[in-house]
Structure 1
């Protein structure tokens, strides 16, 4: 377990949270907050890194079967996904008797995480909208056991990424503005290179972790990685079209942050190893899936009861409620459900 990377999950989940706070107040419609969608790219690259870290060698050496891997991933993502999907459908009355046909047309693809393959907003954002990213992860997980063998030699993986580095920006440049979100932001095939970047990053980590780094040098590298990421983040709106910022623009700065912090040798790594930040990273999946619920619920209540509450109170309150529910979800639903699904599926 790499504690620093677990803790970083919390910070990037907060960026996604900030990107969605515009539903509460237009103050959050500025670039500083809205660019928080980069958190999704972070999670995809991190996923490639961590899955390779945990399973690459085990699959190559046949210490873990494809079935065992897939069962573990299903147990990880599906219980909470199904719970939140049903919650949204019921609370939002999206499966009301007057519109069963229309509701089911969107519900079935969302249930099986196929909705992001349909490049239409009324599909990929119809129910619990953050779940589109789980559809991407599902594709990555399905393919990974084959990729682990195919890219057992890193040269093939490097070659595949070089092709992606050329082809992806070219195709992006040919996509009209109206379609970039459906084709390049939520499309699992378009986000697949992000996962490959993470897989290659693991190979770089394998080489780097045996190198000696002093505490001072490692601390400088950590600060430098953060500064480079922030530089990319802050200048992006004026210099880079949004279609590139959806993925390939951030490959380098995110990879740099992940690589440097995965070594866990500097001052910032010590801070990130704090147990409470690690717990924050553990609950980030719950936080990610339910935060938009809470934001929309607050907006609905504010409109219904004509609330006029300062942002300095409302946003911390929404955040605190989301954290509280995420903790409950993680300890009393996710972990027990994970064990239960593994036990059931491994008996088959």
Structure 2
């Protein structure tokens, strides 16, 4: 990293400078960071759609660690939100209500459709009717992760959207307070957030070592490990790591040379760790053990190089944009396909699933997610204009 001065640039000198008294200029689109979401979504998809992991042979440990992609999504979310909205909230120009509505418009239209379908497909459930109804209501309002008995119902992967909703509400109030005033301060903040992310997992390893070290079936997970992996406030530090890393990136110029080294080192260390994931504590991997690798990889992809240029190709960017639809539908579709078509959860069974899921995800993105977002924001802006006129 260049510069011998440890002080970070002031607010008006960051890469998304204030363009006027009332307007914050948007930073350039980091296309590679959009595309990388597609790879992360496929990783968690393969994790759910091929069982047992021994089918992958010597790579069973790698593909059996697909759950770590969710931790990456939490980190990436914090990074991107600071990159796009951090300056406006620090400068006092941020509109909290409009920010939250924009986040709602981004995730909820498609979430509502998929959750509605999940309710229809799960009408005859093996779970107790009392929790069936309560869990469905909680899932509709993205509250299922707040209680251990409400999470494993319907579209189970939607638990992470419950976490994200909590993160969105926290962001406008937390992000300005995490802006570091020096590189040293930023590194210390980042290290502190990493430690906070891992402490609950360490406690779980002490209280329930067998389940904390090894992934087990949902029915065999103890309450301690389950809460550590789901309760939103315990997931928040992973999001905070992304926020701090985003601030450092905005305020500390990164050279192209450093970015290449960071990408190479972060990728090698992460892949090595994932290859030996079955020898590492499950609950720590799930809760952010790889965050230092995520920092290096994102810094590397945020600058021009061979890898980031390839990932900036339009089809890859579109795949990244459609990754939310893929993530939200793959688990439910996997169960439905196994029930209706008896497709095996093998490597060969991935082929028909992906032949349906990939185009389906693209269609949902283009004809549900995007129009839903535009409709919600159009309604909100029209409402704001009416109130202003009144």
**TM-score, structure 2 normalization:** 0.78
Residue 236 (structure 1) shift: 2.7
Equivalent in the alignment of 2:373 = 338
Counterparts in 2 of 1:6 and 1:175: CA distance versus 1, 3 Å = farther
Task: Provide, for residues 98-143 of structure 1, a one-character-per-residue CA deviation record: whole Å limited to 9, x for no partner.
Answer: x8644312111111111111123xx212011111000110111001
Report whether the alignment pairs 1:107 with 2:136: yes
What is the aligned counterpart of 1:118 among 133, 147, 150? 147
Cα displacement string for residues 171-229 of structure 1 (whole angstroms, at most 9, x for unaligned residues):
33334232354222222111101001101111221244x34325xx6545433322111
Q: Whole-Å Cα distance in 1 between the matches of residues 198 and 333 of structure 2?
A: 40
Does 1:287 pair with 2:326?
yes
User: Is the aligned partner of 1:301 residue 2:330?
Assistant: no
**Matches of 1:81 and 1:24, distance apart in 2:** 29
Task: Tell me, yes or no, if structure 1 residue 276 matches structure 2 residue 315.
Answer: yes
CA contact (8 A) 1:229 1:257 kept: no
| Pairing partner for 2:46 from 4, 8, 18 | 18
2:271 corresponds in structure 1 to 230
Task: Give, in angstroms, the shift of residue 298 of structure 1.
Answer: 1.8
SS in 2 for 1:63: coil
Of 180, 183, 190, the residue aligned with 2:227 is 183
SS in 2 for 1:186: coil
| Partner in structure 2 of residue 69 of structure 1 | 99
User: 2 CA distance for matches of 1:128 and 1:308?
Assistant: 20
Q: Name structure 1 gaps, 5 residues minimum.
A: none
Contact 2:50-2:345 within 8 A present in 1 as well? no
Partner of 2:154: 127
Say which is worse superposed, 222-231 or 23-32, in terms of deviation.
Answer: 23-32
Distance 1:309 1:232 in 2: 25
Name the structure where helix makes up a greater proportion of residues: 1
Is 1:213 the counterpart of 2:241? The answer is no
* Aligned counterparts of 1:35 and 1:320: Cα–Cα separation in 2: 23
1:46 matches 2:76:
yes
CA deviation profile, 1:224-274 (whole Å, cap 9, x unmatched): 322111012112321x211111123111112221121122x2211111111
Match of 1:3 in 2: 31
Equivalent runs, 1:126-145 vs 2, <5 Å: 126-145=153-172
Structure 2 CA distance for partners of 1:269 and 1:118, relative to 1, 3 Å: same
The worse-fitting range, judged by mean Cα deviation, of 143-152 and 171-180 is: 171-180
Matches within 5 A, 1:26-41: 27=55, 30-41=60-71
CA distance, structure 2, for counterparts of residue 129 and residue 71 of structure 1 = 25
Matches of 2:114 and 2:224 in 1, distance apart?
27
How far apart are the structure 2 equivalents of 1:114 and 1:342? Answer: 23
Question: Given that residues 19 and 35 in structure 1 are in contact (C-alpha distance below 8 angstroms), is that contact kept between their aligned partners in structure 2?
Answer: yes
Partner residue of 2:244?
200
- CA–CA distance in 2 between the matches of 1:61 and 1:308? 54
From the superposition, tell whether residues 201 and 12 of structure 1 become closer, same or farther in structure 2 (CA, over 3 Å). same
Contact persistence 1:19–1:28 (CA under 8 A): no
Out of 238, 250, 256, the residue aligned to residue 290 of structure 2 is: 250
Instruction: Look up the SS of the partner of 1:106 in the other structure.
Output: helix
After superposing the two structures, state which structure 1 stretch, 177-186 or 227-236, moved more.
177-186
**RMSD of aligned alpha carbons:** 2.7
Runs of 5+ unmatched residues, structure 2: 1-28, 212-221, 385-390
Q: CA deviation at 1:41?
A: 0.6
Question: How far 1:76 sits from its partner (Å)?
Answer: 1.1
Change in Cα spacing, 1:118 to 1:65, as seen in structure 2 (3 Å) is: same
Matched, 1:93 2:123: yes
CA distance, structure 2, for counterparts of residue 74 and residue 342 of structure 1: 9
